[in-house]
């Protein structure tokens, strides 16, 4: 099977099974999305969604957060992973949003990456979800699923290389959804430990599964 054929079949499968795939983070505007994505680093969306309602009531926008302190923000986010650094990043990010962007979240990659706590993955999520750009964030789930399915080469050993290969083969108009397809498949089916191969509709296409599958016993 050619790489083009593999992509076609995988994307068709996801389009049928998850036509409305979207982020599981809960937010009301772009600022809240950025905050939620920053908090979600090495933390589950479920945990983030437990924290953000109270956080957003206290800090509904960048100005409110910029007028606070990292210590106060910490009290709201202390149950997520790395709360000290995340609280500090959110405080500094909010101050820069107010100082440079009138409290609004910018839409360009360079401007997003200039904000504390914002890496390429977070910037790609914000651009895709908030601004409808054809960007694909590569987290651990996307990285794992892409390699297991054989969508990317073995030499794609960094998130950026995986992103580059995926976006080369996925049509621009479905790139944002493809991120969620791969992420959700990795989160619930193609898990890091004990992947649910028996429940996966892509086994017949999966390079990793076909490699591990025992050969039929000959009589």
CA terminus-to-terminus distance, the chain:
29
Annotated catalytic residue within 121, 161, 172, 213: 121
194: region left, alpha or beta (phi > 0 left; psi from -120 to 50 alpha): left
User: Rounded CA gap, 73 and 163, in Å?
Assistant: 32
* Token pair 């099974």: residue: 17
Closest by alpha carbon to 126, among 112, 147, 110, 143? 112
Question: At 121, phi and psi to the nearest 5?
Answer: -60, -50
Q: Does residue 161 carry a catalytic annotation?
A: no
The catalytic residue among 46, 139, 196, 198 is 139
- In degrees rounded to 5, what are phi and psi of residue 25? -70, 145
Q: Are 115 and 96 in contact (CB under 8 A)?
A: yes
Task: Retrieve residue 86's tokens.
Answer: 């995340």
User: Quick count: other Cβ atoms within 10 Å of Cβ 211?
Assistant: 9
Active site residue 46: no
Whose CA is closest to 175, among 133, 213, 140?
133
Maximum Cα interatomic distance, the chain, rounded to a whole number of Å: 76
Are 186 and 151 in contact, with CB atoms under 8 Å apart? no
Residues with a catalytic annotation lie at 121, 139
């Amino acid at each position: 099977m050619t790489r083009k054929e593999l992509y076609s079949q995988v994307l068709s499968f996801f389009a049928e099974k998850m036509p409305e795939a979207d982020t599981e983070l809960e937010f009301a505007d772009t600022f809240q999305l950025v905050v939620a994505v920053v908090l979600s680093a090495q933390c589950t969306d479920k945990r983030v969604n437990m924290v953000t309602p109270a956080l957003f009531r206290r800090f509904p926008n960048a100005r409110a957060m910029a007028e606070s302190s990292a210590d106060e923000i910490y009290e709201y986010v202390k149950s997520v992973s790395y709360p000290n650094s995340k609280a500090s990043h959110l405080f500094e990010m909010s101050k820069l949003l107010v100082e440079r962007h009138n409290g609004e979240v910018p839409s360009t990659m360079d401007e997003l990456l200039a904000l504390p706590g914002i890496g390429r993955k977070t910037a790609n999520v914000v651009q895709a979800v908030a601004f409808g750009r054809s960007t694909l964030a590569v987290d651990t789930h996307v990285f794992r699923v892409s390699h297991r399915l054989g969508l990317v080469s073995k030499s794609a050993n960094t998130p950026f290389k995986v992103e580059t290969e995926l976006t080369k083969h996925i049509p621009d108009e479905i790139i944002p959804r493809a991120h969620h397809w791969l992420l959700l498949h990795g989160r619930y089916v193609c898990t890091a430990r004990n992947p649910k191969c028996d429940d996966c509709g892509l086994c017949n296409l999966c390079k990793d599964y076909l490699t591990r599958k025992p050969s039929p016993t000959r009589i």
